[in-house]
């Protein structure tokens, strides 16, 4: 169950000027496991505190003196805490505001000690904090679900993972390898990237146990509503939570949740789910330049769920549905979720996950792109297709209007790259470099596009 974020943390552990890291992510995406993996890899003595399980430990952080804090922790845990040899892990730190504040003093007064923290519902504290965050004294690591490349490693397909990591555009992929990778994509679309779901699949190579795990995770998220919302809000949040998987790929409309609820009530519920990182708003951006967020429209957005496997479970999809290529209403949205959740976390680990899409703002003719991203100063339209073909009118219109020269598509066909010229309805032409990647190369797109 290897995570590529482990490479970043390993480098951090060797940095002389490191800061305490706070790992941010939804429940059960593997934050605590990642820290334990780091401890084993680097040979640290791990001292782990969990403020949700043991709230009495919060009192240790009333002092702003790191030496006093570690002395109390050492007495409580009966473990020596030696800077340079010990990894101090503060888990569920959102339950201990004093511990968050203390990270500043660990950085300033005891920088030799390796300190990591994690919090599943940390966003609520950050959004409503009544204390001063240790800005400049800590850094963040944003952790999502396991990627497709990490899934390949978990299912003992390290050779395929290495093949993808070294793949160069226009390199021929044998049909047998392409088909095998696409079959594995279908497996991933069903079991998803939640570590526990993948572990269950690896254990018995059937979907039964994985499905039970995902159902349990969905129930756990609903049980969490009580931790960040008043009882009166639970029904609204539950309805939004249940509806999101059916709305992926489409503009979010409040009336589709429940026409009897006020838009403001639904908006508040959705915001709670986004703070819990169970859902993500994908805003429209005019995409005239970078950063794309500078031109986002807060009122025009789509929503992604945390994980494609959880979406499949919510929609009742099975592996046989994908293998038999049934005419599924939601198959395109499932693939859009798959691509979207990878794009969200495709940037640097310390960058806040963000993603945008584009819709033509002219009333006379509508056009919409699944996603729009930037690699450096280059703004790139992204189309997602479940099959091998599909119209790309919106992509071409975007390239024309924004005067962009590179377009990216994800689908089920082998990789290709070409210089294309296309005529639009108005008679004008568009010249651009068209890069088409199979879904299984989603983890490599940045490297591939940069090298084109």
**Residues 158 and 129 reside in one and the same domain:** no
Residue 409's alpha-carbon distances to 350, 388, 417, in angstroms, are: 26, 10, 10
**Residues 55 and 78 reside in one and the same domain:** yes
**Residues 379 and 437 reside in one and the same domain:** yes
Alpha helices, DSSP H, located in 252-330: 263-275, 308-315, 319-323
**Residues 125 and 206 reside in one and the same domain:** no
At residue 91's C-alpha, the angle toward residues 110 and 152, to 5°, is 110
Q: What integer pLDDT is reported at residue 320 of this predicted model? A: 78
Rg (CA), the chain: 23
Q: Is the dihedral of CA 275, 277, 283, 288 positive or negative?
A: positive
- Per-residue pLDDT at 77 exceeds 60: yes
**Residues 91 and 173 reside in one and the same domain:** no
- Per-residue pLDDT at 229 exceeds 90: no
Q: What integer pLDDT is reported at residue 327 of this predicted model? A: 45
- Per-residue pLDDT at 12 exceeds 50: yes
Q: What is the mean pLDDT of the chain?
A: 92
**Residues 131 and 168 reside in one and the same domain:** no
At residue 166's C-alpha, the angle toward residues 163 and 171, to 5°, is 85
Q: What is the CATH number of the domain that holds 87?
A: 3.40.50.300
Other beta carbons less than 10 A from residue 402's beta carbon: 16
Q: What integer pLDDT is reported at residue 127 of this predicted model? A: 72
Range(s) of the domain holding residue 41: 5-142
**Residues 103 and 201 reside in one and the same domain:** no
Average pLDDT over residues 369-373: 96
Other beta carbons less than 10 A from residue 32's beta carbon: 18
**Residues 180 and 96 reside in one and the same domain:** no
Q: What integer pLDDT is reported at residue 329 of this predicted model? A: 55
Q: Give tens-digit pLDDT for 249-293.
A: 999 999 999 999 999 999 999 999 999 999 999 999 999 999 999
Q: Give tens-digit pLDDT for 160-200.
A: 999 999 999 989 999 999 999 999 999 999 999 999 999 99
Q: What integer pLDDT is reported at residue 322 of this predicted model? A: 75
Enter the pTM of the model: 0.94
Contact (CB, 8 A) for 439 and 412: yes
Residue 136's alpha-carbon distances to 26, 109, 132, in angstroms, are: 24, 14, 12
Assign 134 a pLDDT band (cuts: 50, 70, 90). Answer: confident
Burial code of 145-175, b = ≥16 C-beta within 10 A, e = fewer? bbbbbbbbbbbebeebbebbeebebeeebee
Listed residues 95, 125, 142: the one ending a domain? 142
Query: Omega into 291 within 30° of 0, i.e. cis?
Result: yes
Count of structural domains within the chain:
2
Average pLDDT over residues 5-13: 97
Q: Tokens representing 180? A: 């095998």
**Residues 126 and 158 reside in one and the same domain:** no
Contact (CB, 8 A) for 132 and 102: no
- Per-residue pLDDT at 312 exceeds 90: yes
Candidates 368, 358, 314, 360; CA nearest to 337 is 314
Listed residues 100, 125, 142: the one ending a domain? 142
- Per-residue pLDDT at 143 exceeds 90: yes
As a whole number of angstroms, the distance between CA 306 and CA 308 comes to 7
- Per-residue pLDDT at 326 exceeds 60: no
**Residues 154 and 79 reside in one and the same domain:** no
Average pLDDT over residues 64-84: 96
- Left (φ > 0), alpha (ψ -120 to 50) or beta: where does 194 sit? beta
- Per-residue pLDDT at 366 exceeds 80: no
Q: Tokens representing 57? A: 């430990």
As a whole number of angstroms, the distance between CA 307 and CA 251 comes to 19
- Beta-carbon contacts of residue 388 (< 8 Å; ≥ 6 apart): 411, 412, 413
Q: Is the dihedral of CA 230, 236, 242, 244 positive or negative?
A: negative
Q: What integer pLDDT is reported at residue 392 of this predicted model? A: 77
Q: Give tens-digit pLDDT for 91-110.
A: 999 999 899 999 999 999 99
**Residues 93 and 171 reside in one and the same domain:** no
Average pLDDT over residues 37-55: 97
Candidates 104, 106, 105, 68; CA nearest to 87 is 106
Listed residues 81, 109, 142: the one ending a domain? 142
For 99, half-sphere exposure in the C-beta direction (CA atoms, 13 angstrom radius) is 30
**Residues 295 and 181 reside in one and the same domain:** yes
Average pLDDT over residues 3-22: 96
Average pLDDT over residues 41-48: 98
């Amino acid at each position: 169950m290897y995570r590529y974020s482990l490479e970043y943390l390993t480098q951090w552990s060797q940095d002389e000027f490191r800061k305490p890291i706070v790992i941010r992510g939804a429940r059960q995406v593997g934050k605590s496991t990642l820290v334990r993996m780091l401890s084993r890899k680097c040979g640290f003595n791990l001292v782990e505190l969990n403020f949700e399980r043991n709230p009495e430990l919060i009192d240790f952080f009333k002092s702003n003196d790191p030496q006093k804090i570690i002395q109390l922790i050492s007495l409580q845990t009966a473990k020596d805490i030696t800077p340079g040899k010990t990894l101090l892990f503060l888990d569920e730190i959102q339950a201990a505001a004093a511990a968050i504040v203390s990270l500043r003093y660990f950085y300033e007064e005891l920088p030799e000690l390796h300190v990591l923290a994690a919090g599943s519902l940390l966003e609520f504290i950050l959004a409503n904090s009544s204390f001063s965050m240790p800005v400049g004294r800590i850094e963040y690591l944003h952790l999502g679900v396991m990627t497709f490349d990490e899934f390949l490693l978990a299912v003992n397909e390290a050779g395929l993972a290495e093949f993808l990591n070294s793949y160069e555009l226009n390199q021929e992929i044998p049909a047998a390898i392409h088909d095998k990778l696409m079959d594995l994509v279908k497996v991933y679309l069903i079991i998803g990237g939640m570590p526990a779901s993948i572990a269950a699949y690896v254990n018995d190579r059937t979907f039964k146990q994985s499905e039970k795990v995902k159902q349990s995770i969905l129930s756990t998220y609903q049980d969490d509503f009580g931790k960040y919302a008043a009882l009166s809000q639970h029904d609204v949040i539950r309805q939004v939570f249940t509806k999101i998987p059916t709305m992926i790929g489409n503009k979010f409309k409040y009336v589709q949740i429940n026409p009897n609820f006020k838009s403001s009530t639904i908006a508040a519920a959705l915001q709670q789910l986004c703070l819990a990182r169970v859902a993500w708003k994908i805003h429209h951006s005019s995409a005239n330049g970078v950063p794309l967020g500078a031109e986002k429209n807060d009122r025009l957005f789509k929503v992604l769920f945390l994980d494609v496997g959880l979406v499949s479970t919510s929609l009742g999809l099975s592996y046989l549905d994908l293998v038999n290529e049934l005419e599924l209403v939601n198959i395109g949205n499932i693939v859009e979720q798959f691509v979207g959740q990878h794009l969200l976390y495709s940037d640097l680990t310390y960058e806040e996950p963000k993603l945008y899409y584009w819709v033509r703002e002219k009333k006379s003719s509508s056009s919409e792109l699944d996603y729009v991203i930037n690699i450096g100063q280059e703004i790139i339209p992204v189309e997602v297709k479940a099959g091998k073909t599909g119209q790309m009118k919106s992509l071409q219109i975007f390239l024309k209007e924004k005067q962009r020269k590179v377009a990216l598509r994800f689908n089920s066909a082998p990789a290709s790259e070409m210089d294309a010229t296309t005529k639009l309805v108005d008679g004008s032409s568009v010249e651009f470099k068209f890069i088409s990647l199979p879904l299984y190369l989603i983890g490599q797109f940045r490297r591939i596009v940069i090298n084109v």
